[in-house]
Each structure stands twice: as structure tokens, then as C-alpha cells.
């Protein structure tokens, strides 16, 4: 009996220590979140070809991104002026699934205007893509893109129905590689947030504008003024 009692006592002691350790870890994590200031976003950061790890990135107050007023999480650090745009494979529009082609932005050499958005089949995305197509016609020496997670077939239909001829629509739907690497993917929706960036001939970011409310339009005129007065006139 003494032997059994000692063994059970040992088991209960081990269980008590384990529970205490779990409780302590949870308490420390909450304390760390509070002491960091701002809002902590859990972000997937690429550590290789396929592996990602979760880290916490503090979003400064006033820079939160919302959908209908509710804050969303942007995976990975948001791209900023001075960063180099991470290259990634995207899918070009096609009419048949067995003819899909992967392309990279690095294949185009020159200044690039890149618009990211949730879907071409939504009013704001559709309107702003049409606007940028007309701007692309005025700047034939600049590459313009609209990148979403739409299927390539939907992009083909959209471009045909809306006579999009000057801007390239590209899809990030397969692996979200472009949006996750460069900080455009909304975790809650698995769609790209609304943003516009301009990069120079070396793919260095010179202009970036994340829409604070994804359902609202971006200021395209402001971006075009920067393109014309700060980049093209140099």
C-alpha cells in the first residue's frame, strides 16, 4: 500500500507541475502582448520554399486595415518604400484550364504600377482596374498590373467584357505567393487587400498606398501624380 500510495502521489505531483507550467506560459504570452503596444498581428513569414512560421508584428495605431470597419490581419510585414519587391509566380488570364501559364513580374523590365484588390467582380475593383487601364494607355513606357485571387478564366471574361487592353491582370490564386511574400494577403478572407505600389526599374518600391478601408476606393490620381512628377521626370 505504501508503494502504491507513493506511485500515485508521484503521478499527481507530475500532473500538477505540468498544469502549472501551461498556466504560466499563457500568462507570460498575454503580458508580452500587452507590453508590446499597438495591435499584434499574427503573420506568416516565409522561411523557405514551402514552410512558414507565425510571428507577431505590431501594427501602429492609425495604420489598421479594415473591412466594413472590422480590422483584418495582413499576412507578413507590409511592404514599404525602399523595400525590394519580392518576385513570385502568377497566373495570366486564359480561356481554358489546361492552357494556364505562370509568369513573373521580373520578366517585365521597367517601372511598374501594381494594383492589388480582392476581386475584379466587385464594383470598386472593377472601376479602379478600368481607370488604371486608361492610365496605362497614357503611359506606354510603364507596366501596369491588377493582381487579385480571381480565377484566370474570370479574368479573361472581365478583360473581354470591359475592353481591358493596356493593363495586365494576373492571378495569385494558386499559392498566394506574391501576396504573402509582399504583405497583401488578408488572413480572414484569403484575398488581396486593396493597395497600389509603384516600383522603379530595379523593383525598388518608390510609392505605396494601402487602403485603410478595403471597401473604399484608393486615390489613383495621387499615385499617378507621383509617377509622372517623381519618377518619369527624373
Q: What gap in Å lies between CA 28 and CA 25, rounded to an integer? A: 5
Q: What gap in Å lies between CA 215 and CA 68, rounded to an integer? A: 7
Residue 35 reports pLDDT greater than 50: no
Neighbours of 230 (CB within 10 A): 12
Give the percent of the chain with pLDDT over 90.
Answer: 69
Per-residue pLDDT tens digits for 82-109 = 999 999 999 999 878 778 899 999 999 9
Q: What gap in Å lies between CA 198 and CA 81, rounded to an integer? A: 9
Per-residue pLDDT, averaged over 10-19, amounts to: 58
Q: What gap in Å lies between CA 145 and CA 117, rounded to an integer? A: 11
Per-residue pLDDT tens digits for 135-174 = 999 999 999 999 999 999 999 999 999 999 999 999 999 9
Per-residue pLDDT, averaged over 201-224, amounts to: 97
Q: Which candidate, 44, 54, 74, places its Cα nearest to that of 194?
A: 74
| Residue showing cell 501576396 | 179
The residues assigned a catalytic role are 125
Name the more confident of 58 and 199. 199
> What's 228's DSSP letter?
I
Q: What gap in Å lies between CA 73 and CA 229, rounded to an integer? A: 33
Amino acid at each position: 500500500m505504501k508503494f502504491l500510495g507513493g506511485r500515485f502521489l508521484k503521478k499527481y505531483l507530475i500532473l500538477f507541475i505540468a498544469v502549472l507550467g501551461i498556466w504560466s506560459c499563457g500568462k507570460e504570452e498575454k503580458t508580452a502582448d500587452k507590453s508590446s503596444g499597438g495591435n499584434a498581428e499574427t503573420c506568416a513569414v516565409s522561411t523557405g520554399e514551402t514552410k512558414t512560421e507565425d510571428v507577431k508584428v505590431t501594427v501602429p495605431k492609425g495604420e489598421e486595415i479594415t473591412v466594413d470597419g472590422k480590422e483584418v490581419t495582413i499576412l507578413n510585414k507590409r511592404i514599404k518604400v525602399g523595400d525590394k519587391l519580392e518576385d513570385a509566380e502568377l497566373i495570366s488570364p486564359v480561356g481554358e484550364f489546361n492552357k494556364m501559364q505562370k509568369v513573373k513580374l521580373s520578366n517585365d523590365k521597367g517601372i511598374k504600377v501594381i494594383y492589388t484588390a480582392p476581386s475584379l467582380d466587385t464594383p470598386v475593383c472593377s472601376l479602379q482596374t478600368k481607370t488604371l487601364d486608361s492610365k496605362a494607355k497614357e503611359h506606354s513606357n510603364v507596366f501596369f498590373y491588377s493582381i487579385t485571387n480571381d480565377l484566370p478564366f474570370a479574368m479573361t471574361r472581365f478583360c473581354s467584357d470591359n475592353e481591358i487592353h493596356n493593363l495586365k491582370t494576373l492571378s495569385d490564386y494558386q499559392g498566394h505567393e506574391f501576396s504573402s511574400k509582399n504583405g497583401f494577403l488578408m488572413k480572414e478572407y484569403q484575398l488581396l487587400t486593396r493597395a497600389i505600389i509603384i516600383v522603379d526599374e530595379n523593383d525598388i518600391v518608390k510609392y505605396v498606398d494601402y487602403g485603410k478601408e478595403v471597401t473604399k476606393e484608393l486615390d489613383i490620381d495621387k499615385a499617378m501624380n507621383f509617377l509622372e512628377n517623381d519618377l518619369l521626370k527624373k
